[in-house]
Amino acid sequence: MEREKHTNGNGTTPKDEAAPVSDEHPRFNYDGIPKGYYDAVLRQGNPIRRLWHVSKFERVLDYLPERPNQSILDIGCFAGTFLSLVPEHRFARQVGVDILPDQIAYANANYGTSFREFRHIKSIRDLSGVKEKFDCVTLIEVIEHLHPYEIRALMDGIVDLLHPGGKLVLTTPNYASAWPLIEVILNKVSDVSYEEQHITKFTYFGFEKKLAKIYPDLFLYFNAVDFKTTTHFVTPFLAGMSFDVARGLSRVVPHQKWTHPFGNLVLMVLTRGPAKR
C-alpha cells in the first residue's frame, strides 16, 4: 500500500523536490538483467510470457496513427524489441533510448537499420541529448519504475520532444486487477523480480488523475485523454494451451470497443496540445 505523504501546494513532497539530479537513490540493479533478456522472452520464451509481450506491443501499435512517414521515440526501449516490430512505411524515423548501455548495444546490433537507431542516455530524466522532435512517443511499462520527481522530469522532456498534435502512448500495470497477485507469483518463479522495480503504482480508475497530481502541467501541455483502456485480461494465460489460438482471441475484440476496467495493463493515449514550455 502506498504511504500517504505530506505534500506541498503543487502536489510534490519536500523530499521529491530536493531529490538529486543524478541516479544516486538505492534501486533495483537493472544492469543485472541479462542482455536481450526480454527480447528472448518474446521470441522464444514461455508461451504465456511471450504472448504477454507480443500482445502489449500489438496494442500499442493499434493506437499509433496509421499514417506514412512518421517519426517515433520509444523511451525505455531496453533491447529494442518494440521498435523492431514497427514497420518502416508507418514510421520512417525510429529512435529508442535507454539508460542501459549493454541493452542499447544489443538493440543496435540486432535491430539497428538506416531508419532505426538506439541511443544510450545517462538518465531517463534527461532527454536533452535527443535533439529532434517526434510525431509519437511511447512509454511502455516505464513510469511504474520511477519516483514521482523522475516522472515529472521525464514528462517535461516528452513535452519538449513531441510535435503539437503528436501522440503519447503509455502503458503500466493495473493495480486494480489481478496484477498484484501475478506480481507476487512472478517474484517467486521468474528470473527477474518486480518487487524492487515497481515504485509508483497506478490503476485504470485513477491513472490520469494520479499522473496529473504527479505532473500538474499534464493538461496544460496535453489535451484531454484521447483514449484509455486495459489489456491482458485472460488471453495471455490461455497461451499455455495454444499460443496461436490465444493470440487470435486477443485480437477478436477491437480494443477501441473494449471497456473492461480490470485487464492487467492500463493503456492511455494523450495528444500534445499547442502550449509551449
Instruction: Give me the mean pLDDT over the 20-36 stretch.
Output: 64
Provide the residue ranges of all domains of the chain, joining segments of one domain with +: 35-271
As a whole number of angstroms, the distance between CA 212 and CA 218 comes to 5
Query: What pLDDT band is residue 5 in, cutting at 50, 70 and 90?
Result: very low
Element (H, E) at 186: helix 179-189
* Phi and psi angles of residue 16, each rounded to the nearest 5 degrees, phi first: -60, -45
Q: Phi-psi region for residue 83, left (φ > 0), alpha (ψ -120 to 50) or beta?
A: alpha
Contact 267, 219 (CB under 8 A): no
Q: How far is CA 94 from CA 88, 142, 195, in A?
A: 8, 18, 32
Distance CA 29, CA 17 (A): 24
195 or 19, which is more confident: 195
CATH node for 35-271 = 3.40.50.150
Residue 29 has pLDDT above 80, yes or no: no
Q: Which of 73-87, 140-154, 179-193, 240-254 has the lowest mean pLDDT?
A: 179-193
Q: What is the tens place of the pLDDT at every residue in 107-152?
A: 999 999 999 999 999 998 889 889 999 999 999 999 999 999 999 9
In the Cβ-directed half-sphere of 138, how many Cα atoms lie within 13 Å?
Answer: 31
* Chain Cα centroid distance, residue 90: 20
